[in-house]
Amino acid sequence: MLTFKNYNIADWFSFYRIAAAPFLLLILWLGNRELFTWLLLVSYSTDAIDGFLARKLDITSARGSQLDSFGDQITFLVGLIGVLIYEFDFVKAQAFFIMLVLVIYIFQMILAFLKYKKATAFHTYLAKLSAIVQSIFILWLLFFDPIYWLFYVMVVLGLVETIEEITLIFMYDNWVSGVKGVYWAIRDKRRLRNKTAVEKSSN
């Protein structure tokens, strides 16, 4: 049975991002752009903190990976809503690229739920890099003005990272967390062990 004692400090930073989302939406509704942006910065910062703590204290877990991924997804969604509200002209001008990334991302999410019944939590190097670039761009856009070259870097990274996630979904029959990328997945004992077990059962 899960109790508060079952959750570690890294998990609680993930819980913060999840709990902060409705308050951020309320601030959006109230129209306080500056407060929204500062609190969004706090939420993005907790993502870096919980990952660092999990690795530093060696408290990584499948549950923690799921919480972290869900916190990331909901924070990113809230950030996008903020950009849509406060920077609608930019969104309208760049609608093609934004929709391109979102459509492929939604496809990846649907694929994951069809296969694993839940979202992926691979936490690849590309995903981490993409998340950093996304957060920097969104925050700079909300605080100041759009940096167009950074936006296009964000789009390319988002596309490549999502394609890698889709590839990993096809590579792993069962849900796993903590896969650094396709290169590492090829040698991952979890994938190889499962493949060997399937081959033995079919013989």
- pLDDT tens digits, 49-62: 776 666 666 656 66
Judge: domain 7-202, CATH 2.60.120.
no
Of 132, 188, 118, nearest to 161 by C-alpha is 132
Q: What pLDDT is recorded for position 198?
A: 46
Residue 175 to residue 26: CA distance in whole angstroms: 34
Strand partners, 121: 177
Residue 154 to residue 148: CA distance in whole angstroms: 10
Q: pLDDT class for 70, splitting at 50, 70, 90?
A: confident
Residue 15: pLDDT over 70: yes
Q: What pLDDT is recorded for position 138?
A: 97
Is residue 14 within 8 Å of residue 58, measured between CB atoms?
no
Question: What's the average model confidence in pLDDT over 9-14?
Answer: 77
Which span out of 11-20, 58-67, 133-142 was modeled with the highest average pLDDT?
Answer: 133-142
Kindly report the pTM of this predicted structure. Answer: 0.86
